[in-house]
A and B are shown apart, each in its own frame.
Chain A
Amino acid sequence: MLEIKCPYCGNRSQNEFAYGGDATVKRPELNSMISDQEWDEFVYYRKNPRGNHLELWHHVSGCRQWFKVFRNTATHEIIQTMEMKENP
């Protein structure tokens, strides 16, 4: 079980959190012309990297904030956690 540092609450065990996927995915702007390709990339396609990955986590059983976790998917090392407005 991972230990994740919520930027608002501090170190907590993984069972307090929900995983939220790739944090680098950007939702296309509302009311913009979006090609099928772009939309498919946004809705369906995700990379599955072995190594460092910037991802979203949600502190569901805590402060209910979404935040970013920079994590190595192979070793589970968490390099950094940060608020949504920050970047590694």
Chain B
Amino acid sequence: MHQEFRTSSGGFIDRSKEISFIFNGKKYYGHRGDTLASALLANGIHLIGRSFKYHRPRGIFAAGVEDANGKVQLYKDNITEPNVNVTEVELVEGLRIESQNCWPSVGFDIGGINNFFSRFFPAGFYYKTFMWPKSFWYYVYEPFIRKAAGMGKAPLDPDPDRYEHQYEHCDILVVGSGPSGIASALSAAKNGARVILAEDKSRFGGSLLTDNVTIGNKNGDEWVEDSIAELESMPNVTVRKRSQVFGYYDHNMLVMFERCKDHLKNPAPYTPRQRLWYIRAKHVIISTGSIERPLIFANNDRPGIMLANSAREYLKVYGVLPGKNPIVFTNNDTAYETAIEFKAKGINTTILDTRKSSNAGVVQEAKNLGIEIKFNHGIANTSGYKKVNSATIGELNNTKDGYKNLQTLPCDSIFVSGNWTPTVHLASQSGNKLKYEVETDTFLPHQSRQKETVIGSANGSFTLKESLADGFKKGFQISDEITKNSKELSVPISDEKDFRLHDKFWCMPLPNNKNYKRFVDFQNDVAVSDIQLAVREGFRSIEHVKRYTTLGMATDQGKTSNLNGLQLVSDLEKKIVPEVGHTTFRPPYTSVTIGTLIGREVGKNYQATRKSPMHEWHEKNNAVFVDAGLWLRPRYYNRGEETLDEASKREALNVRQNVGICDVSSLGKIDIKGKNSAEFLNRVYTNAFLKLPIGKARYGVMLREDGMVFDDGTTTRISENHFHMTTTTAQATNVLSHLEYYLQVVWPELDVNVVSTTEQWAGMAIAGPNSRALLKKLFPHDDVSNEGLPFMGFKEFKFKNITARVFRISFSGELAFEVNVMSDYGEEMWNEIMVLGEDLGIQPYGTEALSTLRIEMGHVAGSEIDGRTIAYDLSLEGMLSQKKDFIGKRSLTRKAFAEKDREKIVGVVPLDKKTSIPEGSYLVENAKASFPNPKLGHVSASCWSVEYDNPFSLAIIKDGKNRKGEKLFAVSPLKNIVIPVVIISQHYVDPEGKRVRS
């Protein structure tokens, strides 16, 4: 299909393959090897979208990541992605793109009216205008801003693609594959270093793809091809294109994303879309090149205006003419090469140069070719709504603040060049203190904080000869420090054109009495007038100017605007740039899709899932699971049409009446051995453990040093110097770290070892009046009577060949036993118990019933031990030994902990015996008191008491000790309900604890 602006030959595209795509509903064609940007330009399309603030028509401005205008909504295979840069997307079959930030269409945009009201949108507009009244935010300002400034549509469906993470180590990471990058990679690799070479584009070579140079006896692009092939053949080298190193972090950790899939026509199944690399490099060579700087002039943002070197890249790499009647506007020599390349394709250009003259070789060459050059000229203004169609040009006056004369020059494009900005983002992220070089008007890397070296034009070496020499030398020196191989390559001879200086003049004056906008930052619509206003209003720090005007913010990170903005502020303040300083460069260097950062850790892979040894049994028996930290625990076992409430009531009642079995494998278990174990436990727990008899378990409470209750559980003495500790499921890992801290840091003289055995034991609680009868069937030859295995007793029994640890402990308040067997035998044991218990009425019960049982007994758990309660608050003050010291004891003498009306745990029952009290409700004396109603405390846990068949809750309230019998109100502002309640004891069922001892 005809592509009007495609040249007949040249470029690196595959002209044999034509690929169609759809832009704003219309079908176009490009070639394999195109980017969306080059394919659009080949069809003469410049207008891509509308600008952020003023909705001005904007076109493709550059050929690489520095393009801030070409953001579109991309569709492929029913997947959509917003804010995609057309210069970064490779053309493949099936792409559809739409302009964004415009309504109803990119050609006619209602928001464009903002442009006519632009004097109402100056710097700080958002801060100044949308400040008050506050209520306007929700109804007026925010909807208005959102509608007017919509930047693409977020996809609503889950991302179907796969993203992966990879960790890699290397001696030297080389970022950027231009001449200096390839030179240093070759040099380091040949010297034996393990090298990673990363290139963000789909082709290696950087400037060598567009420049007319020779290296050795090869053209630049041939040298690239041969060098890359050589590097790829070496086992110590990893070469990656389509790979953007976007962040430089501490200890030489860099992150890079690699585009693996989007450019493929038929990707293999499970191909990740992108791969995130974490690279730890001994040394980093930054050869990221430089970005051309725009010139600033009135209406410099029209479609058709682009960077001169980008225009050359479109021609040389893609065979695309971004214009057939271009003006080249420059303040330096490099843009002449663009005019020369266009001339070679038969396109005549007019060069406007702000300088009075230049004697560089390339300028002479342009003159010899008969290209028209107007020295000492500037562009005063441009015309053309959707695309530039003429420029108002003029000869600059002697002071360069006005024009001697103005004339109109028709054109279909303007290629601008305002000198070059080294890409120092990575060096700056690494902590490099940049220094300003007045001669080239650039910030250059200066003092590295980490092991990094910047070379090539990123370091201000703007000739090929310097870049190659620098690359080979640094590649050798850095690698030799690591490998000591002393193998040095010689630098090949190179030939290039002669470019010289630039003009220190980049911001064109406006025509007399005109206040046209001259844009500095295209992405954020920041014009010269905005920066002038910010300075006039007293903003001095460049960081403040940045935030007030939004200059250099967002995804663009000031790639093309930074230096121009700084120079403008410096001029306005009559300072030099280094005094103004520069803003901080922050990662990511370019936009990174969130999927890449997350990798495989999505959905059920977000965290590891821990399953008990009996998990499959639960699944087969209709368990409905609940997350308990990383664990999946049965919440209840579904029977028929039961609801959660019905099922958990049935299960809890069955424990009170018959016998139930609950999987408690997730409880933390810690094995403690060593001759000082008892002494250690005596310091860790608030109660005494020194004299715990062998074969006995004891309930223990541990505190943090600040006196707050940390965790509780039972610890059993298995032999003289061997203990088995249990912790809550939630605190298991924290308790282990806590014990290790005291053993290794505070009391290393104690001979104690601790190790987690949580996953080694399958735990099952057998609870209910029939539990002893069941145990008897399970261990018919052992004595499980009240005398043989008394409350808090421990015995090891044999079941077949399985050793079972049997603890007589109870969380439910019923007669209960906990049986532990090695994990591999868990399911077998559980099955036996279910079979033997059948005629005793056994049913499994889940965490919901477990909760009900402990709440109505008044046992505290995680909702009460919440890190803000002391032992007294939980009615555990009886657990505090008066005779010995322990962790956190000294804190308990704090005045606040001893106050008479201190919070304390109580039981709460609704007066109507019907209404359940939502957890988190406040308790207040007067439900009608005005706001803020003094809060006495909160409801920590609620259940439906199966013993009394009415709701029951636990609460921690002020002066709880003296409030029994008081009538209060439970209020839940979230649910807008008020429930009259009465305060009772926390021990609703069996307050004397007879059942557990029966």
Q: How far is the CA of A13 from the CA of B431 in the complex (A)?
A: 20
Question: Closest CB-CB distance, B183 to chain A, in whole Å?
Answer: 29
Question: Closest CB-CB distance, B17 to chain A, in whole Å?
Answer: 43
A interface, over-half SS: loop
User: Does A20 sit at the interface, judged by CB under 8 A?
Assistant: yes
* Contact A64-B740, Cβ < 8 Å, known A2-B251, A85-B748: yes
Question: Closest CB-CB distance, A38 to chain B, in whole Å?
Answer: 9
Question: Closest CB-CB distance, B686 to chain A, in whole Å?
Answer: 13
Does A20 contact B890, Cβ atoms closer than 8 Å? no
Q: How far is the CA of A56 from the CA of B890 in the complex (A)?
A: 23
Does B891 contact A39, Cβ atoms closer than 8 Å? yes
Question: Closest CB-CB distance, A14 to chain B, in whole Å?
Answer: 8
Q: How far is the CA of A28 from the CA of B888 in the complex (A)?
A: 11
A45-88 residues at the B interface, CB under 8 angstroms:
56, 58, 60, 64-66, 75-76, 78, 84-85
Q: What is the interface size of chain A, counting residues whose CB is below 8 A from a CB of the partner?
A: 26
Q: How far is the CA of A30 from the CA of B881 in the complex (A)?
A: 14
Q: How far is the CA of A58 from the CA of B736 in the complex (A)?
A: 12
* Contact A76-B250, Cβ < 8 Å, known A39-B890, A58-B737: yes
Question: Closest CB-CB distance, A76 to chain B, in whole Å?
Answer: 5
Q: What is the interface size of chain B, counting residues whose CB is below 8 A from a CB of the partner?
A: 26
Q: Which of B278, B745, B885 contacts A31 (CB 8 A)?
A: B885
* Contact A42-B251, Cβ < 8 Å, known A64-B740, A84-B748: no
A-B contacts counted at CB < 8 A amount to 55
Does B705 contact A42, Cβ atoms closer than 8 Å? yes
Does B280 contact A3, Cβ atoms closer than 8 Å? yes
* Contact A43-B250, Cβ < 8 Å, known A58-B740, A58-B741, A60-B737: no
User: Which chain B positions have C-beta within 8 A of A42?
Assistant: 705
Question: Closest CB-CB distance, A86 to chain B, in whole Å?
Answer: 12
A2-33 residues at the B interface, CB under 8 angstroms:
2-3, 13, 18, 20, 27-28, 30-31
Of chain B, the residue at the smallest CB distance from A65 is B744
* Contact A43-B737, Cβ < 8 Å, known A3-B251, A27-B746, A75-B449: no
Of chain A, the residue at the smallest CB distance from B889 is A30
Does A30 contact B683, Cβ atoms closer than 8 Å? yes
User: Which chain B positions have C-beta within 8 A of A3?
Assistant: 251-253, 280
* Contact A84-B705, Cβ < 8 Å, known A3-B253, A31-B885, A43-B891: no
User: Does B779 sit at the interface, judged by CB under 8 A?
Assistant: no
Q: How far is the CA of A46 from the CA of B772 in the complex (A)?
A: 54
Does A1 contact B706, Cβ atoms closer than 8 Å? no
User: Which chain A positions have C-beta within 8 A of B891?
Assistant: 39, 43
B249-300 residues at the A interface, CB under 8 angstroms:
249-253, 278, 280
* Contact A66-B251, Cβ < 8 Å, known A3-B280, A13-B280: no
User: Which chain B positions have C-beta within 8 A of A44?
Assistant: 706
User: Which chain B positions have C-beta within 8 A of A65?
Assistant: 744
Question: Closest CB-CB distance, B326 to chain A, in whole Å?
Answer: 48
* Contact A20-B741, Cβ < 8 Å, known A13-B280, A39-B890: yes
Question: Closest CB-CB distance, A70 to chain B, in whole Å?
Answer: 15
Of chain B, the residue at the smallest CB distance from A58 is B737
Does A1 contact B251, Cβ atoms closer than 8 Å? yes
User: Which chain A positions have C-beta within 8 A of B280?
Assistant: 3, 13
Q: How far is the CA of A69 from the CA of B250 in the complex (A)?
A: 16
Question: Closest CB-CB distance, B10 to chain A, in whole Å?
Answer: 45
Does A66 contact B890, Cβ atoms closer than 8 Å? no
Question: Closest CB-CB distance, B758 to chain A, in whole Å?
Answer: 14
Instruction: List A residues at the B interface (Cβ < 8 Å).
Output: 1-3, 13, 18, 20, 27-28, 30-31, 34, 39, 42-44, 56, 58, 60, 64-66, 75-76, 78, 84-85
